[in-house]
Amino acid sequence: MGDQILCIFFTEIEFNGFCPRDLICFTGRLTDSLRAELYYDWHAYIDDENARDAFCYIVGLAATLRSFGCYPKAKGEVKDFRFEDEYNAIRFAFIVNKSWLLFYFRKPAIESGKYSQSDLRNAFETARETEAGEWTIRLQSVDDVKRLWRLLAIC
Degrees (nearest 5) of the Cα angle 144, 137, 97? 85
pLDDT per position as a tens digit, 65-118: 888 888 898 888 899 999 999 899 999 999 999 999 999 999 999 999 999 999
What is d(CA 46, CA 97) in angstroms, rounded to the nearest whole number?
6
Binning pLDDT at 50, 70 and 90, where does residue 7 land?
very low
Going from the C-alpha of 99 to that of each of 56, 93, 106, 125, the distances in angstroms are 14, 17, 22, 17
Degrees (nearest 5) of the Cα angle 88, 91, 96? 110
> Has this prediction a pTM greater than 0.75?
yes
